[in-house]
């Protein structure tokens, strides 16, 4: 992974194994940057906010995922695409954690 020293936290792995912690990290960092609304439905973000959030998201995903979502130009769309890919992991990981 390139530029790992510039990352705020571990990038989302292409397998999605760190998806749950990645989601929390992204939400916290975007909230701190006052950009969380850019990944929420029906937001009224301006172009500069969307660009900044998209750069942030792309910087924190695996290079393979970047390539797979190369044409996505909206942070909400990228967020939803990644959620669709990895949301099933919640059903696998959370029940196991509750039983431990």
Output the DSSP codes for the chain: -TTGGG-SSPPBPTT-TTHHHHHHHHHHHHHHTT-GGGGSTT----HHHHHHHHHHHHHTB-HHHHHHTTT---HHHHHHHHHHHHTHHHHHHHHHHHH-
- pLDDT confidence of residue 6: 59
| Mean pLDDT, range 4-19, rounded to an integer | 80
Are 37 and 51 in contact, with CB atoms under 8 Å apart?
A: no
| 100 found inside a domain | no
Task: Give CA–CA dist 40/43, Å, rounded.
Answer: 6
Take residue 99 and report the two structure tokens written for it: 């039983």
Domain count, the chain: 1
What's the pTM value of the predicted model, to 2 decimals?
0.81
pLDDT digits (tens, 9 = 90+) for 34-52: 999 999 999 999 999 999 9
pLDDT digits (tens, 9 = 90+) for 55-89: 999 999 999 999 999 999 999 999 999 999 998 77
| 38 found inside a domain | yes
- pLDDT confidence of residue 2: 47
Domain residues for the domain of 81 are 18-92
| 2 found inside a domain | no
């Amino acid at each position: 992974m390139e530029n790992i020293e510039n990352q705020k936290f571990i990038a989302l792995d292409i397998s999605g194994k760190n998806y749950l912690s990645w989601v929390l990290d992204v939400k916290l960092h975007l909230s701190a940057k006052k950009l969380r609304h850019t990944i929420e439905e029906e937001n009224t973000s301006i172009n500069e906010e969307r660009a900044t959030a998209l750069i942030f998201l792309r910087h924190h995903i695996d290079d393979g995922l970047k390539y797979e979502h190369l044409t996505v130009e909206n942070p909400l769309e990228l967020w939803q695409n990644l959620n669709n890919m990895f949301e099933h992991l919640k059903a696998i990981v959370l029940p196991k954690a509750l039983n431990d």
